[in-house]
A and B are shown apart, each in its own frame.
Chain A
């Protein structure tokens, strides 16, 4: 894929964005925030949760989401992937079998086979997403995708199916799917990480694997929960001096003995921040420079849900410029 194009075209100007990353890094929140931002830009947006854990519903503070997209706020639709429903839709749209009434049991049996056959579940999921893109039902489809361990199998399913299946309808349909997935102007993968050792290592490995084995463009890396820098370098020297016993004694006399706790909390935050900076440096070093790195600060909020999504969207907006 021509890599130069992806840098110039804006992240949200694409039509299909997969959001993946190590578990626990905030994939769902980032996917929801990107959707929030797209809606602010006036885009008709669909966001789809792939693993049906309910995290997306929690992010939008709605009771439940289903395969049928529901409008969670004006211009923003949300759904959860379900391969059985996807198959039913597929049969209805493409096979046009005259036994509409029998699709139900048929789909159930098929789902049974799909469990064992490699790539079939993945192709049903990815096929649904590509279909939405092709039909232009939405300006942008954002996928709260599988975690880093499973994402390559998912986005690469059309190619795997092409290799495994020699004839048949599914094979024919992989052509247009591959075209959408391999077009950097239309499709991108966003990898979410946190500035810690394991997530950064996994991110580097994932980006490498996606770039070397698939045609999908890595559109951005989002480093989530980056602790703020409390002090500049000269300030941190002052801070260290103030942690000294003589200064602490003066401070305790003036502000009470618990002033030590306040300083310890600051020292802890500063140490974590220093560690995070090291991991972010490693990330920049190991990932090719044409993949933008977006930093999202740690949020000191009371709650989760919509408030967090909105604050995250603000930060992403700032980073995207």
Chain B
């Protein structure tokens, strides 16, 4: 890249220095692929034990890593032979695990429940699945919990986490704080006051009267019962949430925002960068995925496209090309004209991308670029190729 900074080098430094990298960005930007590519590159080139924690890998991605298609909560090692087959000796180890939010909640309850009876009562509560699936963005909280666990286990030198698709990326960052606040909240107190007595509390009487009329008292009672049980786990949950929160601003942690150069993801990336800054969460880099090759922006390329259209109109040259290729002259002329004409579409998109890129580079110091590739990622070699776009191949 013809830029003042050596983004390859800086990104490689980031992979060597940090213990945890959190990949975020709006949906559909290729977060999972970038997470896997960075993890693979870190394992191969920097070395050490690297874990990529993914949320929902395309089956193809799992296959690409030579893994069973059903990844689970337990980490699986990518065989060294897979790297060898991709033409690279892996200095470290690459492990992959998938975040399973359902069993994750069960684990949380098992960990924090004060005794076995209570644990089983909660797990058997009819509202348990329904509630845990919905409140305080539990998916996001679980992602953070698992990350913390893996870090605390001391088993890995680097953990790269691909964040869950979130309506708003910030839900993820705020999840531990919100979980902590939830336990101290008025909401929980209201819900857990014994049903009879709260009907007679003057302040809340009108509220419950209306709520009962709308929702029915039985429903509120069911909810209350669940939360009374849940409250017994307060101490454990709050302590953990605090530690998870601390981890997010730790100096061993870096965030990488992934975006394409389309309007909506780019807007989201800028917003995310600002919000990370406000939360004192370290934004390590911005990865611009699926960009058009820089060469198409060169004026000489546009000139060549115009000249190509002239070649299509030139009977002598086209006849010459038809002879060289063994193709029909009119077909050659048609294809040349088409290639020349469509190049304009490509330059329009490239111009649009360049403008957005400048805007983003003004906000984030370190940006790295991955060009749009002709095919989807289908094996470890193509993942490593993406890694090389990000880090350069000087390390190889």
Contacts and interface: CB of A to CB of B under 8 A. Distances in A.
Interface in A99-121: 99, 102, 106, 109-110, 112-113, 115-120
Interface stretch (B78-86, B232-240, B306-314, B385-393): B306-314
Given A231-B338, A268-B372, A262 B216 contact: no
A99 B206 contact: yes
Contacts of B343: 262, 265-266
B308 A259 contact: yes
Given A53-B168, A268-B374, A115 B135 contact: yes
B201 interface: no
B327 to A, nearest CB: 5
Contact of A168 (B213, B321, B327): B213
What band does the interface of chain A fall in when counting residues whose beta carbon is under 8 Å from B?
A: 35 or more
Nearest to A243: B325
B27 A147 contact: yes
Interface in A73-119: 91, 95, 97, 99, 102, 106, 109-110, 112-113, 115-119
Interface stretch (A31-39, A245-253, A288-296, A310-318): A245-253
Given A164-B130, A242-B335, A55 B264 contact: yes
Contacts of A10: none
A156 interface: no
B311 A254 contact: yes
Given A118-B134, A201-B58, A258 B212 contact: no
B305 interface: yes
B325 A262 contact: no
B123 interface: no
Contacts of B58: 197-198, 201
Interface of B: 26-29, 58-60, 127, 130-131, 133-136, 165, 167-168, 185-187, 190-191, 206-207, 210-220, 222-223, 227, 260, 263-265, 267, 292-293, 295-296, 298, 300-301, 303-305, 307-308, 310-311, 314, 317, 320-321, 324-328, 331-332, 334-336, 338-340, 342-346, 348-349, 351-352, 372, 374-376
Given A169-B213, A238-B328, A263-B339, 9 more contacts: A22-B165, A115-B136, A150-B167, A166-B216, A168-B214, A230-B339, A241-B327, A250-B321, A267-B374
26 contacts: A23-B28, A24-B26, A24-B29, A25-B28, A28-B264, A109-B190, A110-B211, A112-B186, A117-B220, A117-B223, A119-B130, A147-B167, A170-B214, A198-B28, A201-B59, A235-B338, A238-B325, A242-B336, A254-B314, A255-B308, A258-B303, A259-B307, A261-B298, A262-B340, A268-B374, A269-B346
Q: Taking chain A's interface residues, is the majority helix, strand, or loop, or is none over half, making it mixed?
A: helix
A63 interface: no
B339 A239 contact: yes
Given A110-B207, A255-B311, A262-B304, A116 B223 contact: yes
A269 B218 CA distance: 59
B191 A116 contact: yes
When A and B form their complex, which 8 residue pairs have the shortest distance between CB atoms, in order from nearest? A24-B28, A23-B27, A168-B216, A255-B307, A271-B374, A241-B325, A300-B345, A258-B304
B27 A235 contact: no
A264 B308 CA distance: 14
A235 B206 contact: no
B215 A168 contact: yes
A166 B374 contact: no
A242 B375 CA distance: 21
Given A199-B28, A258-B304, A166 B227 contact: no
A238 B296 contact: no
B213 A242 contact: no
B330 to A, nearest CB: 10
